[in-house]
Amino acid sequence: MNRLFLFLLLILPCHWAWAHEARTDALFEQWRTGREAQVQAFEAFLRGEQLSDVIPLAHLLRTASDWQRCRADPFEVPPPSNWPDVASTLRLVAELKRRQLLPPFEVHSAYRNPALNECAHGAEQSAHKTHFALDIVTAGDQSAWLASLCQFWRNEGQRWHMGLSRYSSGRIHIDTKRYRTWGNIGKAPLCAQ
């Protein structure tokens, strides 16, 4: 087999999920025009909580991968009533990053308003809608770090009110709504003992 072909075969699956992301930084800059006051208030909140550097704003405000089909905005500032949950989830992610329990990742879905959550087939009481949750996409083999992440969930998840799951697509869901773990319908919970 041609070496270049083999090389492409190895790297393509890792980058496939990110390569087709339409919600670019340029699109974010375009979207925030006209919403400047709202975005700046949210940025000021994150600065006040010392959480500005955990996840780039243009990723943190991504709504749902189905935004185009649902005719929704690609980005949205969560309502202020959800901001304490934004802070607690970002604090958890910062801790996971500090302890090197997460590989490099990209956020594909965070806050979803009720209409978008329903269109995107989110659970009725989805943490994406009622609190603040992150669906993240990672590259490469997950088994190497997922066991450690589940270990963290078992040991310290209760204190963080940490919700942790993985969808069939491989995306990881993290929130701080309530201590729990689950899996795909009919499958064992992600961090089953």
State the residues that interact with Zn ion by CB under 5 A: 133, 135, 173
**Rounded Cα gap, residues 30 and 2, in angstroms:** 43
23 or 173: whose CB is closer to Zn ion? 173
Q: Which residue number has the CB closest to Zn ion?
A: 173
Q: How far is the CB of 134 from Zn ion (least distance, A)?
A: 7
Closest among 170, 166, 162 to 183, alpha carbons compared: 166
54 or 110: whose CB is closer to Zn ion? 110
32 or 183: whose CB is closer to Zn ion? 183
Closest among 90, 72, 85, 83 to 31, alpha carbons compared: 72
Q: How far is the CB of 126 from Zn ion (least distance, A)?
A: 7
**Rounded Cα gap, residues 110 and 65, in angstroms:** 10
Q: What does residue 188 show for φ and ψ, rounded to 5 degrees?
A: -65, 150
Q: How far is the CB of 165 from Zn ion (least distance, A)?
A: 7
Q: How far is the CB of 160 from Zn ion (least distance, A)?
A: 16
The amino acid present at 192, given as its one-letter code, is A
74 or 128: whose CB is closer to Zn ion? 128
